[in-house]
């Protein structure tokens, strides 16, 4: 793999940012450079679609505009405010991160990459995203979209993780760091994400309309024509399964019922829920308790974690 030359990297970044200035997605959470609000948005975006995050982010940051506001609230309040996003463990982790920010960093989100990674629920990608977007540091936050875009530009492979042309994560990270615009790292990050989401799609890339096509090994190798391996591959179709039959659905329904209780309210789960037997419900309750999403009393009742 040979990354673009310095001259090409400068030209590529300029083309990418020019495209973003005209075509970039206008998302509510991008209007704020506040480190806490950026951190909240990145945690929400980890496993949730952008459209759902926009609404939830406005609501959540309105309720908890600072780390202190969340840290002094109960975990139950955090989980209630997380409604509609799923993967509720992220709310618990964000509450723990807010507490750590208060205890270790005087209430301010740290601007150090290692310190960010040390916060609960914050991995390398999220730490880099906050560093670039909130603090203007030229480090690349490599998500699925950026991994695909950079992989195609520098190596020409079909999509992220293509087993035919594997590309080490460290190589993608190094190439991304080399390509980021040091003057506009936040916009470069958003732009690369948007290119991956709207133009450089996994199986239907629009190379003809991509601002990076001049420097892209993938576009050159395909001569602006779709590559056969990008077409849908014949495969044995899995049996259709209902989301209502999954443990994720069950966990969500349990948390939804507990959200409706006041802080001092308790509930028992002694009956089946949907297609899930009482045994599966009990197992889900135990798992949620282990994850810190609820607490149990000696009588077998449960509630969202109390403030104390």
- Catalytic residue list contains 42: yes
- Token pair for residue 53? 């995050």
d(CA 250, CA 231): 35
- Of 272, 261, 244, residue with least CA distance to 295: 261
DSSP the chain: --PPPHHHHHHHHHHHHHHHHHH----GGGG---HHHHHHHHHHHTSS-HHHHHHHHHHHHHH--SHHHHHTS-HHHHHHHTTTS--THHHHHHHHHHHHHHHHHTTS----HHHHHTSTT--HHHHHHHHHHHH--------HHHHHHHHHHHH--SSTT-TTS---HHHHHHHHHHHS-TT-HHHHHHHHHHHHHHTS-SSS--GGG-TTGGG-HHHHHHTTS--GGGSPPP-PPPPP--GGGSHHHHHHHHHHHHHTS-TT--B---S-BTTB-HHHHHHHHHHHHHTTS-EE-TTS-EESPP--
Catalytic option among 42, 54, 295, 299: 42
Which positions are catalytic? 42
């Amino acid at each position: 793999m040979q990354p673009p030359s310095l001259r090409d990297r400068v030209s590529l970044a300029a083309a990418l940012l020019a495209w973003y200035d005209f075509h970039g997605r206008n998302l509510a959470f991008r209007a704020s450079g506040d480190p806490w609000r950026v951190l909240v948005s990145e945690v929400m975006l980890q496993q949730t679609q952008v459209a759902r995050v926009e609404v939830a982010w406005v609501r959540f940051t309105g309720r908890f505009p600072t780390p202190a506001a969340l840290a002094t609230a109960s975990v139950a309040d955090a989980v209630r405010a997380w409604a509609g996003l799923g993967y509720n463990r992220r709310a618990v982790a964000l509450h723990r991160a807010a507490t750590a920010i208060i205890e270790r960093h005087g209430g301010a989100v740290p601007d150090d990459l290692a310190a960010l990674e040390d916060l609960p629920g914050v991995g390398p990608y999220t730490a880099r995203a906050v560093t670039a977007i909130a603090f203007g540091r030229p480090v690349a936050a490599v998500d699925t979209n950026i991994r695909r875009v950079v992989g195609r530009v520098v190596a020409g492979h079909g999509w992220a993780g293509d087993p035919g042309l594997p590309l080490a994560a460290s190589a993608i990270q190094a190439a991304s760091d080399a390509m980021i615009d040091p003057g506009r790292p936040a916009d470069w990050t958003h732009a690369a994400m948007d290119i991956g989401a709207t133009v450089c799609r996994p199986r239907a890339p629009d190379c003809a309309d991509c601002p990076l096509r001049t420097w892209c090994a993938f576009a050159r190798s395909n001569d602006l024509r779709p590559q056969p391996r990008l077409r849908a591959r014949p495969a044995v179709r899995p049996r259709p399964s209902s989301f209502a039959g999954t443990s994720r659905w069950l966990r969500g329904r349990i948390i939804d019922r507990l959200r409706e209780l006041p802080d001092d309210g308790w509930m028992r789960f002694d009956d089946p829920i949907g297609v899930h037997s009482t045994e599966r419900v009990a197992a889900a309750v135990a798992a949620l308790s282990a994850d810190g999403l609820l607490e149990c009393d000696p009588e077998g009742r449960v509630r969202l974690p109390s403030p104390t």
